[in-house]
């Protein structure tokens, strides 16, 4: 196994999950899309399901991710964050995934597909497919517009082929300090719930809170919450207060592979972006942009070696990066912590995110498959 590894701390994962449960006191839909945000979906799901209080639901972005979970013999409902289409309908029906409905056309397509599937497979005509209706209260991406949601909900409730298992919406700004727009979305969603209650229409499981809302919007908890990045140890933004303890689950490590003395004025790596101001030892580490070290981190990132922080120097290359360790006693084989902590020093995905103008989601998702995941 190569020395560059992503160490996945399942103890931290479980602690994050249990902290979320303790705070919200609701059902939990664990979001495990994108290979569990780069952490390895099989192991993440197995760890969560080893707990006494397992997630009630799992959430995925595409049908292929749902199929992966069913191959793991996952029995919980799997909510698919996309609507049924000709591309995923067979996977949805064959693997008993729960699709999201965004429109009346989605409903009609799914009803027609269920009718054909039921007849083709000799199933009872009263077998219904569970669905969740996604309501666009202001995210502005997908979902039935909140002003049109109630008629669609009624049609699903009356459907011969579908069962309304839940309704949900998604916040656009719950991770921001200013909650005015998020509160407007919540007000719109509550308006729909009030209509359903007056007309005695059962909405199924109600859910809206993503990681940002879990941390800062108690009124948005409803029946279930949907932690994503918070499961993996990060707040969704730096504007959200960490109201529960969160520990990063992923640590990225490697080791020193070469140590070479460079004289003053000599340059390091492609483009000669870095030249030494005085004689020093340059070490190389076998990890690069093919592993998820963004090329734009060149001359901007650091690593911890033997408890001390050293600057990365020169352009990040596909397979290798370099660090200036001065005249310190660093040798081949010494551990290099790219994301993680040692002694009093810590580097996490936010440190990279600030330099790249991005968020930890992108950092962990971009740790490539050629980096072996090691679970502990």
**Is the pLDDT at 226 greater than 90, yes or no?**
yes
pLDDT class for 119, splitting at 50, 70, 90? Answer: confident
Residues of each domain in the chain carrying CATH 3.20.20.10: 10-232
pLDDT exceeds 90 at position 131: yes
Distances (CA, A) of 1 to 10, 135, 175: 20, 46, 38
Tokens of 222: 């409803």
pLDDT tens across 155-168, in order?
Answer: 999 999 999 999 99
pLDDT, tens digit (0-9, with 9 covering 90-100), for 144-202: 999 999 999 999 999 999 999 999 999 999 999 999 999 999 999 999 999 999 999 99
pLDDT at 286: 98
Query: What pLDDT band is residue 120 in, cutting at 50, 70 and 90?
Result: confident
User: Would residue 161 show up in a list of annotated catalytic residues for this protein?
Assistant: no
What CATH class does 10-232 carry? alpha beta
Cα within 13 Å of Cα(162), Cβ side = 31
Which pLDDT tens digit goes with each residue over 320-342? 999 999 999 999 999 999 999 99
The CA-atom distances, in angstroms, between 344 and each of 59, 304, 325, 341, 369 are 36, 10, 18, 7, 30
Residue 7 pLDDT > 80: yes
What does the alpha-carbon distance between residue 131 and residue 151 come to, in Å, rounded to a whole number? 15
Where in the chain do CATH 2.40.37.10 domains reside? 250-375
Task: With a cut of 70, say whether residue 272 has pLDDT above it.
Answer: yes
pTM: 0.95
Single out the catalytic residue among 75, 108, 270, 355. Answer: 270
| Mean confidence (pLDDT) of the chain | 97
Res 127: pLDDT? 75
Please tell me the least confidently modeled range out of 20-29, 79-88, 109-118: 109-118
Residue 15 has pLDDT above 80, yes or no: yes
Q: 3-state secondary structure string, 47-75?
A: HHHCCCCCCCEEEECCHHHHHHHHHCCCC
Lowest-confidence range among 118-132, 245-259, 261-275, 276-290?
A: 118-132
Q: Catalytic site residue 73?
A: no
Distance CA 153, CA 133 (A): 7
- ∠ CA 302-305-307, nearest 5°, is 105
Task: Name the CATH superfamily, with its identifier, for domain 250-375.
Answer: Lyase, Ornithine Decarboxylase; Chain A, domain 1 (2.40.37.10)
pLDDT confidence band for 249 (50 / 70 / 90): very high
Given the residues 33, 57, 146, 234, select the one marked as catalytic. 33
Q: What number of other Cβ atoms are within 10 A of residue 300's Cβ?
A: 15
Residues 6+ apart with CB under 8 A from 68: 41, 42
Asked if pLDDT for residue 125 goes beyond 70, the answer is no
CB-facing half-sphere around the CA of 12: CA atoms within 13 A: 19
């Amino acid at each position: 196994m190569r020395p560059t590894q992503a160490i996945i701390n399942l103890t931290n994962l479980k602690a994050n999950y249990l902290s979320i449960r303790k705070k919200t006191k609701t059902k939990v839909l664990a979001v495990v899309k994108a290979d569990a945000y780069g952490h390895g979906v099989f192991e993440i799901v197995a760890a969560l399901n080893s707990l006494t209080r397992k997630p009630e639901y799992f959430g995925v972005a595409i049908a292929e991710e749902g199929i992966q979970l069913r191959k793991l013999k996952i029995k919980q409902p799997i909510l698919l964050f996309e609507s049924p289409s000709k591309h995923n309908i067979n996977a949805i029906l064959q693997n008993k995934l729960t699709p999201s409905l965004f429109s009346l056309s989605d409903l009609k397509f799914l009803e027609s597909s269920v009718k054909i599937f039921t007849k083709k497979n000799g199933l009872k005509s009263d077998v219904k497919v569970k669905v969740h209706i996604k309501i666009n209260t202001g995210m502005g991406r997908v979902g039935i517009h909140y002003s049109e949601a109630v008629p669609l909900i009624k049609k699903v409730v009356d459907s011969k082929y579908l069962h309304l298992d839940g309704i949900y919406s998604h916040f656009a700004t719950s991770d921001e300090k200013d909650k005015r727009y998020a509160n407007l979305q919540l007000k719109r969603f509550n308006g729909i719930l009030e209509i359903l209650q007056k007309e005695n229409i059962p909405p199924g499981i109600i859910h809206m809170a993503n990681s940002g809302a879990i941390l800062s919007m108690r009124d948005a908890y409803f029946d279930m919450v949907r932690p994503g990045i918070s499961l993996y140890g990060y707040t969704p933004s730096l504007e959200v207060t960490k109201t529960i303890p969160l520990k990063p689950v992923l640590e990225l490590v490697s080791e020193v592979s070469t140590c070479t003395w460079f004289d003053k004025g000599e340059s390091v790596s492609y483009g000669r972006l870095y030249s030494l101001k005085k004689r020093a030892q340059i070490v190389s580490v076998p990890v690069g942009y093919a592993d998820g070290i963004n090329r734009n981190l060149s001359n901007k990132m650091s690593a911890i070696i033997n408890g001390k922080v050293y600057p990365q120097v020169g352009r990040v290359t596909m397979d290798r990066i370099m660090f200036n360790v001065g005249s310190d006693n660093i040798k081949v084989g010494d551990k290099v912590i790219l994301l993680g902590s040692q002694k009093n020093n810590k580097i996490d995905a936010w440190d990279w995110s600030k330099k790249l103008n991005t968020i930890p989601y992108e950092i962990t998702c971009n740790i490539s498959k050629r980096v072996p995941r090691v679970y502990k």
